[in-house]
């Protein structure tokens, strides 16, 4: 089955290719460079559907989109759907991460809880639509560490760690991130739906 990956974020593309290769090698994932719709939804699910619908309409194929972000409890769930441009419209990952660290500078560890959330939308050419979610709980570090991953990875410390040494996702290998991430968890939840197609 062919499926268009409706994202313009190359890090998401790489992660999805890894996930699909290791869990559903029968799927043929196709890149998408068509028009980017305005993401004016107020939830992750609405935005994921907006992106998947646009790509399915443009290509005539099944389309999968991820809308994701980091949700910080002490900020009432922000940045949430605004994660990509928390420090302004430029989608500057370093500025986003620094602003979030600033906003939490006097918050002690027990109150730095957060989670990554990924909502995946699957839109089929016949109009059927599905959304699933994956959550990755953890807390925010006090400073960035590591060069791996993207976005907020260098300041996110998952509760569940792959080794005895506590690290941020920025210090994880790609395989370690894939084994635990919100995106992998959402894709896993999509499994039963994909199996019916």
**Residue list, annotated binding site:** 7-12, 67-68, 150-153, 177, 182-183
Name all contacts of 163-170 with Cβ < 8 Å and 24+ positions apart: 168/141, 168/144, 170/144, 170/145, 170/146
Contact assessment for residue 159 and residue 135, using Cβ atoms and an 8 Å cutoff: no
Question: Please, what is the minimum distance in Å from the beta carbon of residue 67 to ligand ITT?
Answer: 4
Neighbour order of strands in the sheet with 62-72: 28-30, 2-5, 62-72, 113-123, 129-140, 156-158
**67 catalytic residue (yes or no):** yes
* Among 67, 73, 126, 164, the one annotated catalytic: 67
- How many Cβ atoms are within 10 Å of 168's Cβ, its own excluded? 22
Residue number with CB closer to ligand ITT (42 or 108):
42
Question: Please, what is the minimum distance in Å from the beta carbon of residue 196 to ligand ITT?
Answer: 25
Residues making up the binding site for Mg(2+): 67
> Contact residues for ligand ITT (CB under 6 A)?
7-9, 12, 51, 66-70, 83-84, 96, 116, 149-153, 181, 183
Residue number with CB closer to ligand ITT (47 or 194):
47
Residue number with CB closer to ligand ITT (46 or 164):
46
- How many Cβ atoms are within 10 Å of 153's Cβ, its own excluded? 24
Which of the residues are catalytic?
Answer: 67
């Amino acid at each position: 089955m062919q499926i268009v990956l409706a994202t313009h974020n190359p890090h998401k593309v790489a992660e999805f290719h890894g996930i699909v290769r290791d869990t559903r090698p029968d799927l043929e994932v196709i890149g998408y460079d068509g028009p980017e719709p305005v993401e004016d939804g107020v939830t992750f699910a609405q935005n994921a559907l907006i992106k998947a619908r646009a790509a399915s309409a443009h290509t005539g194929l099944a389309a999968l989109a991820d809308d994701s972000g980091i949700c910080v409890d002490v900020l009432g769930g922000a940045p949430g759907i605004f994660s990509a441009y928390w420090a302004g419209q430029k989608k500057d990952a370093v500025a986003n991460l620094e602003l979030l660290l600033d906003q939490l500078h006097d918050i002690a560890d027990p109150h730095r809880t957060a989670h990554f959330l990924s909502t995946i939308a699957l839109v089929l050419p016949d109009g059927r639509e599905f959304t699933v979610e994956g959550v990755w709980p953890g807390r925010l570090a006090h400073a960035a560490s590591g060069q791996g991953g993207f976005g907020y990875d260098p300041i996110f410390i998952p509760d569940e760690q792959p080794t005895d040494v506590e690290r941020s996702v920025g210090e994880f290998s790609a395989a370690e991130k894939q084994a635990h991430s919100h995106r992998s968890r959402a894709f896993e939840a999509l499994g039963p739906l994909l199996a019916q197609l």
